[in-house]
């Protein structure tokens, strides 16, 4: 596996094809891991929703979201990843969580 700044030169076509295959397989594994993590993150929405309801807090927590986005921006800059795109991903994850929290609270009220 190459490092982010390594220049890769191939001795032949097979070497390039092998690297492509290995890299794509690893991306598939990472995608599966990401999906599992997103599911775990979303599942935690139930606990968060119920705790917020008990504490009388709204689903949207501006301070928490600001802290999450600040942390992500710092990590993006530290790792040389486009912070705007990562921020969009985090926005989607927080929307998913808030939607799940709202649904849990709705079901909790409706029975």
Inter-residue contact 80 to 31 (CB < 8 Å)? no
The pLDDT value recorded for residue 108 is 82
Reference 60, options 47, 72, 48; nearest CA is 48
Residue by residue, pLDDT tens for the chain (111 residues) are 455 567 678 999 999 999 999 999 999 999 999 999 999 999 999 999 999 999 999 999 999 999 999 999 999 999 999 999 999 999 999 999 999 999 999 988 776
CA atoms within 13 A on the CB side of 5: 2
Inter-residue contact 1 to 22 (CB < 8 Å)? yes
Rounded to two decimals, the pTM is 0.79
Residues 6+ apart with CB under 8 A from 106: none
């Amino acid at each position: 596996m190459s490092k982010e700044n390594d220049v890769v030169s191939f001795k032949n076509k097979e070497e390039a094809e092998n690297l492509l295959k290995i890299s794509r397989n690893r991306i598939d594994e990472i995608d599966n891991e990401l999906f599992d993590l997103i599911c775990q993150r979303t599942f935690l929405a139930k606990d968060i929703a119920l705790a917020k309801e008990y504490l009388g807090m709204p689903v949207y927590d501006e301070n928490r979201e600001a802290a999450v986005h600040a942390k992500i921006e710092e990590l993006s800059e530290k790792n040389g990843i486009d912070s705007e795109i990562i921020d969009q991903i985090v926005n989607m994850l927080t929307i998913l969580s808030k939607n799940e929290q709202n649904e849990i609270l709705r079901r909790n009220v409706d029975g």
